[in-house]
């Protein structure tokens, strides 16, 4: 793509109309220079605080950490993944299960299951997901996890493999229940301070923090540290990650993610199920009941149902992943869908995801390299007053984009974030109509 095409693409995205809100907070925020909470070595037992009691609500929106590596100066023995043969693994995929468990312990979560293919390993966690590529790790964790504590150990493990840090990205939506978070996630300021003051990271990590979106509503925090040497980068710079965060999902849909309704009654089967077999069956039944399998056709799916409620799913297809996480509790219901699929248009995928959950509102983000953005034939954020219409029974739900923010950070990382809200009367009518139809069929 030509430079003029890239410039015109960005100009069209940044052409915000008067009825939309552009955030003046989409500016670099330098890490604080204060040193009153200097983290010397991030000892394992320094943050082993007791789990906070469950208070009936759950922080669904995830924290996301992506760490990319390149072959270091002393890593001449490291193989390029394209040269791997058979089942031989390269780079970070050579890490042992003990190493991966140690990373998860830093974030206060555990591995529940995993699937792999020739390109990546995908782990379902007790709090969201972990994906390991030869030279990239992506971790999403929800609740009160301590995700940033993973950075130091990832850098250390990479060094042992002859790899050095190349790019780090951390992002999250503003918390619904910030008072429940543990250090270093008390605030974005504290997160930046943690990254800036950590001794084992200070010489290798230097980036900026950004806030996108209206500070008085849903907004998105982003931190990027780009140390990429373009000639050494092992992947083509066409990466992009789409994330859809949905709030106040239709109660009819939320009810599909309660475990007990899938339990078999006594005498319903000849052979007694083990707990593991029951969970596997319930996970598959939840997936099909909600139509989640139809959102990721052709993928290898690894679903996991939780008691008393909740659901997580990883899906892998060649080099791409998709991941979903659902918290159905009334008052804090939430569903998320994220993928790094390289498609020319996300329109049908976005419509299908939103149609599946019918939320009252959703936040959508896109983080992409310039090359990845230029490959899109249709930008999900472009267009005046970009609205989304999805069917619900005999009615339709109309979502209007209420705000849009975008910025280019570091050398070529493009970040876009938008809020969509359903018309209250329209949403209520459509959901109630669908609920009546469902009851009549039952």
Residue positions annotated with a catalytic role: 59, 62, 128, 142, 312, 325
Dihedral pair phi/psi, residue 108, rounded to 5°: 65, 50
How far is Cα 255 from Cα 162, in angstroms, rounded to an integer? Answer: 48
Dihedral pair phi/psi, residue 391, rounded to 5°: -75, 150
Residue 290 — left, alpha, or beta (φ > 0 → left; ψ -120 to 50 → alpha)? alpha
How far is Cα 367 from Cα 65, in angstroms, rounded to an integer? Answer: 12
Judged by DSSP in three states, 289 sits in helix
Among residues 66, 109, 149, which one has the least CA distance to residue 365? 66
Q: Taking the chain, what is the end-to-end CA distance rounded to the nearest angstrom?
A: 53
- 272 CB neighbour count, 10 Å cutoff: 9
Structure tokens at 422: 């359903």
Cβ–Cβ < 8 Å for 127, 141: yes
DSSP, res 73: T
Q: Which residues sit opposite 320 in a β-bridge?
A: 317
Structure tokens at 308: 């008393």
Cβ–Cβ < 8 Å for 324, 292: yes
Taking CA atoms, 398 is separated from 246, 248, 351, 359, 426, in Å, by 15, 15, 11, 11, 7
Q: Which helix (H) or strand (E) holds 407?
A: strand 395-409
**Which are the contacts of 301, defined by CB distance < 8 A and separation ≥ 6?**
287, 292, 293, 313, 314, 315
Judged by DSSP in three states, 183 sits in coil
Pairing of strands 361-369, 240-247: antiparallel
Cβ density class 336-369: b for 16+ within 10 Å, e for less: bbbbbbbbeebeebbeebbbbbbbbbbbbbbbbb
How far is Cα 237 from Cα 25, in angstroms, rounded to an integer? Answer: 27
């Amino acid at each position: 793509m030509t430079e003029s095409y890239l410039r015109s693409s960005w100009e069209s995205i940044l052409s915000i109309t008067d009825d939309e809100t552009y955030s003046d907070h989409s500016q670099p925020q330098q890490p604080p220079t204060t040193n009153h909470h200097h983290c010397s070595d991030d000892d394992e037992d320094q943050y082993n605080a007791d789990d906070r009691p469950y208070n009936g609500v759950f922080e669904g929106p995830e924290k996301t950490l992506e760490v990319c590596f390149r072959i270091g100066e002393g890593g001449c023995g490291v193989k390029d993944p394209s040269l791997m043969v058979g089942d031989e693994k390269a780079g970070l995929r050579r890490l042992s299960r003990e190493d991966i468990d140690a990373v998860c312990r830093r974030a206060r979560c555990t591995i529940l299951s995993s699937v792999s293919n020739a390109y990546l390993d995908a782990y379902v966690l007790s709090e969201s997901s972990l994906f390991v590529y030869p030279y990239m790790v992506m971790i999403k964790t929800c609740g009160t996890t301590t995700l940033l504590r993973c950075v130091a150990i990832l850098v250390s493990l990479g060094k042992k493999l002859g790899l050095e840090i190349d790019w780090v990205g951390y992002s999250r939506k503003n918390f619904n229940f910030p008072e429940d978070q543990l250090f270093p996630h008390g605030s974005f300021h504290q997160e930046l301070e943690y990254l800036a003051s950590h001794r084992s990271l200070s010489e290798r990590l230097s980036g900026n923090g950004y806030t996108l979106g209206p500070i008085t509503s849903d907004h998105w925090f982003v931190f990027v540290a780009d140390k990429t040497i373009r000639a050494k980068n092992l992947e083509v710079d066409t990466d992009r990650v789409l994330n859809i965060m949905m709030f106040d999902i239709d109660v009819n849909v939320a009810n599909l993610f309660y475990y007990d309704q899938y339990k078999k009654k006594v005498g319903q089967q000849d052979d007694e199920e083990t707990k593991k077999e029951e969970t596997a069956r319930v996970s598959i039944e939840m997936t099909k009941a909600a139509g989640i399998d139809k959102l990721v056709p052709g993928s290898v799916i690894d679903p996991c149902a939780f008691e008393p409620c909740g659901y997580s799913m990883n899906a892998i297809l060649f080099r791409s992943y998709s991941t979903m996480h659902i918290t159905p509790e009334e008052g804090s219901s939430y569903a998320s869908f994220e993928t790094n699929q390289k498609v020319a248009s996300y329109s049908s995928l976005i419509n299908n995801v939103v149609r599946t959950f019918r939320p009252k509102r959703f936040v959508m983000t896109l983080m992409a390299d310039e090359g990845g953005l230029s490959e899109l034939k249709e930008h999900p954020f472009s267009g005046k007053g970009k609205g989304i219409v999805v069917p619900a029974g005999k009615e339709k739900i109309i979502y209007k984009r209420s705000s849009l923010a975008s910025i280019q950070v570091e050398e070529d990382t493009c970040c876009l974030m938008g809020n969509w809200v359903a018309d209250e009367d329209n949403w209520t009518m459509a959901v109630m109509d669908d609920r009546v139809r469902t009851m009549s069929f039952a």
